[in-house]
Amino acid sequence: MINRTLAAALAALTIAAIPVTLTAQDKPEAKPAAPAPSPAPEYKPNSASKTFTGTFGGRAIRYTATVAEQVLKDDKGVAKAALVTTAYIAEPRDPSRPVTFLFNGGPGSASLWLQMGAFGPKRVAIPSDARDDGAPPYPILDNPDSILDVTDLVFIDPVGTGWSHTIGDTDPKDYWGVSQDAASVAKVIRKWLSENERWNSPKYLGGESYGTTRSAAVVNELEGQYNDVALNGVILISTILDFAAGADTEGNELSYITNLPSFATTALYHGKAGAASAAAFAEEARQFAIGPYAAFLLKGQKASAEERTRIRAELARLTGLSEQYLENADLRVTPNRFYKELLRDRGLTVGRLDSRYTGKDYDNAGEGPDNDPSFYGIDGGYTAAANAFLRGTIGYQTERDYVTIGGVNDWDWKLKGGRDTNAYLNVAPYLGKALRENSQLRLFVAQGWYDFATPFFAAEYSLSRTGMPQDRISWHYYDAGHMMYVRDEDRRKLSDDVRQFIRAR
């Protein structure tokens, strides 16, 4: 019995020790090697061109209009973003001609406003007298006020505006910030100069509204290092550089000072004050704002009753508001309240971008207006015209929607390489440094009397600080608001003023 058990055990061990030959069917399947990652497909930029003729500044010009994506790549050559430019180049091409790079603001606004309203060879015709633009069709006309007779033009739409976009899995927020945005626009300018052999052309940079902020930051990107793109001039239209100067925030007394002259010109326009002209009344308001009113505000609750009485009476004369209303506001009226209060007795509000415009709210009891009549009074015409001309006439084909304004969120307001600027954002020093280090750089500043988005006195304040050479800054004022070119007379004046600025280099 024992022997049989041992024999069985030995037999089992012997069988277990015999190598087993597996058939092909018995072998485990080998895992296929992971395929090598395929390179990202080369991005093919979209573009369209067409040649036209027109008369600008009294000169007949043949020009080519080109709408094209300018592709930005990372250090490894991977396409990250496509910024769309619209270039208008006089034919035959001449590298000795100036070239001007232009953009609007927002941040988040495409360049259609300056392009279809002021400087482009075509413009949309909307009412010139501060009336609503109504419904289409909107006339798209030749623009004899275009400055194409003195400079080639390149309009730039930053990422998130117009048809400009990121590529692949690139996060748009990589481009949404004061410094990030400026860096991308500066790269587009360098790229365009290289591709078009224009490095030795006279160069101008221009922006409107936040576009003036962008201009200062782009100047820093172009001239703030040793591989400079030196500029001949910077065109600032409706300027905002020092954000504290116009910040309507509780405790910021400076904004009451910088807004007061705009209150005065608006009150004069609507018959709530009397003076010989907007310019004369603006000067009265400037002197009061920077003198007695500033002293009163800085004293706070330590100001005497007698001083308060004098200030209230003069504020009422300048602003067209009642002394009782001013007293209720502690002699500190914000623009939003002013829009509603000035014409409350007529059941109307006034505009923010252009206070010549009036609107009618749901009711007359609120503290501020329902909306800005100076924006909804123009947006339909510009949006339709940009799409009709760029898509239909020039022939740019895309399935993307054209983003006129508002496509950018979560903007990064910190300046690259600087201190924490959340509390005090000011890009004016970039311009001061550029003026000091480029002896032929000049600034052109255009301001509307009726602009509350970027008040003219705030612009004057920011460009008169220490370190800002004053002899190369020229100031120009217009009888309209933020987009002074919507008024026919001021579009012509702006065009003539900029033309002279470029010719005077």
Q: Which residue has the higher pLDDT, 384 or 416?
A: 384
Q: How far apart are CA 376 and CA 199, in angstroms?
A: 40
Mean pLDDT taken over the chain: 91
Q: For residue 9, what pLDDT is reported?
A: 40
The answer to whether residues 201 and 96 touch, using CB atoms and an 8 Å cutoff, is: yes
Return the minimum-mean-pLDDT range out of 335-339, 350-354, 421-425.
Answer: 421-425
pLDDT category at 16 given cuts 50, 70, 90 is very low
Summarize the confidence of residues 216-221 as an average pLDDT.
Answer: 97
C-beta atoms surrounding 5 within 10 Å: 9
Q: Is the pLDDT of residue 369 over 60?
A: yes
What does R_g of the chain's alpha carbons equal in angstroms?
A: 31
Q: Which residue has the higher pLDDT, 459 or 28?
A: 459
Helical ranges in 55-160 per DSSP H = 112-114
Q: Is the pLDDT of residue 391 over 60?
A: yes
Summarize the confidence of residues 270-298 as an average pLDDT.
Answer: 97
* Helix, strand, or coil (residue 163): coil
Q: Is the pLDDT of residue 37 over 90?
A: no
pLDDT category at 244 given cuts 50, 70, 90 is confident
Kindly provide the residue ranges of all beta strands, DSSP E only, lying in 12-163, ordered along the sequence.
47-56, 59-73, 79-91, 99-103, 122-124, 140-142, 152-157
Q: How far apart are CA 102 and CA 199, in angstroms?
A: 17
Q: For residue 128, what pLDDT is reported?
A: 84
Residue where the block lists tokens 């209230």: 312
Question: Is 293 exposed, middle or buried, given 0-12, 13-18 or 19+ CB atoms closer than 10 A?
Answer: buried
pLDDT category at 83 given cuts 50, 70, 90 is very high
In angstroms, the Cα distances linking 121 to 155, 198, 324, 363, 385 are: 12, 21, 51, 42, 13
Over residues 122-164, the pLDDT tens digits come to 999 988 888 888 899 999 999 999 999 999 999 999 999 999 9
Q: Which residue has the higher pLDDT, 40 or 47?
A: 47
pLDDT category at 41 given cuts 50, 70, 90 is confident
Question: Percent of the chain, pLDDT > 90?
Answer: 81
Q: Is the pLDDT of residue 33 over 80?
A: no
Residue where the block lists tokens 């399935």: 399
Q: For residue 30, what pLDDT is reported?
A: 57
Closest by Cα among 10, 30, 50 to 390 = 50
Q: Is the pLDDT of residue 34 over 50?
A: yes
Over residues 398-429, the pLDDT tens digits come to 999 999 998 788 899 888 876 554 457 899 99
Total residue length of the chain: 505
What is the 8-class DSSP label of residue 43?
A: P
Summarize the confidence of residues 459-475 as an average pLDDT.
Answer: 97
Summarize the confidence of residues 157-186 as an average pLDDT.
Answer: 96
The answer to whether residues 114 and 237 touch, using CB atoms and an 8 Å cutoff, is: yes
Q: How far apart are CA 206 and CA 448, in angstroms?
A: 16
Q: For residue 5, what pLDDT is reported?
A: 42
Q: Is the pLDDT of residue 258 over 60?
A: yes
* Domain limits, CATH 3.40.50.1820, in the chain: 47-244+378-503
Q: β-strand 152-157 against 122-124: which pairing, if any?
A: unpaired
Return the minimum-mean-pLDDT range out of 8-12, 317-321, 500-504.
Answer: 8-12
Q: For residue 394, what pLDDT is reported?
A: 97
In angstroms, the Cα distances linking 204 to 337, 440, 468 are: 38, 12, 19
- Which fold is adopted by the domain 47-244+378-503? Rossmann fold (3.40.50)
Q: For residue 361, what pLDDT is reported?
A: 95
Would the pTM count as exceeding 0.85?
A: yes
